[in-house]
């Protein structure tokens, strides 16, 4: 009698099972971000600053102790804390990339994922999306807390009031935009200190310097600064020194595309 032996078949993994796809790079970037405590603390600190300072500004409205530029508008008072948060968000974006260049980790990462543009896209996608979510939550909380703390005589707004949702969404979009610009600057400058200097110059020093120029030159230039474009997009203020909400959004997108695009060109031409 003949006995037949059946050899069990072994399934060989398909080569495609180990492809370095964009989705897997995004997952890796998200894992790296959330497992570094300083990243979580910094982004949480930006959210806390938005809520805490907004509450402080609203509580001292009309007393002469708060920022005079914000005192005429209860909505801008509630969201005034984002002026500090945007610095934290932008510099953290720079540090996420510059830190890897300084430690040499970026070379290992490019060895595992040779398509550098995918790495750039994954970092900007993960950080931009995360900042958008955190900024939106912080903006809503800052608004609700700030309106509740307004002193007697100030009319509190609700989420259904005209312009409120636009301002809250605009704040979140602006946060995501400057976060992605920070990542782009990290790839361009490869230094946290240089990136921080570029952030502070663009967001705070440039508006002051442009204000010293003749109006015929300074006014057009001032309108296309990221901070002024974001103010126009948010719709909190409306004056001749600002663009329309649509043009403000377009200018802000152009800043993101320009900086991230320059980073992409740099990655193609420079060694890690």
At residue 8, the pLDDT reads 46
Give the mean pLDDT of 196-222: 87
- Does residue 5 lie within any of the structural domains? no
7 against 102, higher pLDDT: 102
At residue 271, the pLDDT reads 73
Distance in angstroms (rounded) separating the CA atoms of residues 224 and 217: 12
Total domains in the chain come to 1
Report H helices in the chain.
22-35, 37-59, 74-78, 82-103, 105-112, 116-149, 164-189, 192-200, 206-211, 215-223, 226-234, 245-269
- Does residue 107 lie within any of the structural domains? yes
Which has the closest alpha carbon to 184: 100, 256, 250?
256
Q: How would residue 5 be classed by pLDDT, with cut points 50, 70 and 90?
A: very low
- Does residue 241 lie within any of the structural domains? yes
Task: Indicate if the pLDDT at residue 10 is higher than 50.
Answer: no
Taking only the tens place, the pLDDT of each residue in 90-138 is 999 999 999 999 888 888 888 888 888 999 999 999 999 999 999 999 9
With contact defined as beta carbons under 8 Å apart, do 166 and 79 qualify?
A: no
- Cβ count near 220 (within 10 Å): 11
- Does residue 1 lie within any of the structural domains? no
At residue 58, the pLDDT reads 87
- Does residue 127 lie within any of the structural domains? yes
Task: Indicate if the pLDDT at residue 3 is higher than 60.
Answer: no
- Does residue 14 lie within any of the structural domains? no
- Does residue 13 lie within any of the structural domains? no
Range of the domain at 213: 22-269
Q: How would residue 236 be classed by pLDDT, with cut points 50, 70 and 90?
A: confident
- Does residue 82 lie within any of the structural domains? yes
Taking only the tens place, the pLDDT of each residue in 131-186 is 999 999 999 999 999 999 888 777 888 898 888 999 999 999 999 999 999 999 99
Taking only the tens place, the pLDDT of each residue in 16-67 is 556 778 888 899 999 999 999 999 999 999 999 999 999 998 888 766 666 6
Which pTM was predicted? Answer: 0.87
With contact defined as beta carbons under 8 Å apart, do 226 and 182 qualify?
A: no
């Amino acid at each position: 009698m003949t006995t037949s032996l059946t050899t069990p078949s072994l399934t060989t993994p398909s080569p495609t099972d180990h492809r370095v796809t964009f989705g897997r790079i995004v997952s890796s970037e998200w894992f790296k971000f959330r497992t570094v405590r300083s990243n979580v603390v910094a982004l949480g600190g930006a959210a806390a600053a938005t809520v805490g300072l907004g509450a402080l500004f609203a509580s001292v409205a009309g007393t002469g102790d708060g920022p005079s530029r914000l005192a005429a508008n209860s909505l801008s008072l509630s969201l005034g804390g984002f002026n500090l948060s945007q610095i934290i968000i932008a510099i953290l974006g720079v540090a996420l990339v510059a830190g890897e260049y300084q430690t040499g980790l970026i070379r290992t990462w490019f060895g595992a994922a040779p398509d550098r543009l995918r790495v750039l896209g994954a970092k900007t996608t993960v950080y931009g999306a995360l900042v958008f979510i955190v900024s939106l939550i912080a903006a809503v909380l800052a608004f609700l807390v700030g309106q509740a703390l307004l002193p007697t005589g100030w009319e509190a707004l609700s989420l259904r009031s005209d312009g409120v949702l636009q301002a809250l969404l605009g704040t979140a979009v602006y946060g995501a935009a400057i976060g992605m610009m920070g990542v782009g600057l990290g790839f361009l400058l490869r230094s946290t200190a240089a990136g921080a200097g570029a952030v502070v110059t663009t967001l705070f020093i440039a508006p002051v310097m442009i204000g010293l120029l003749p109006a015929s030159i300074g006014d057009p230039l001032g309108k296309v600064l990221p901070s002024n474009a974001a103010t126009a997009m948010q719709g909190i203020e409306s004056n001749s020194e600002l663009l329309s909400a649509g043009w403000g959004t377009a200018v802000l997108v152009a800043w993101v595309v320009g900086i991230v695009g320059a980073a992409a060109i740099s990655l193609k031409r420079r060694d890690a």
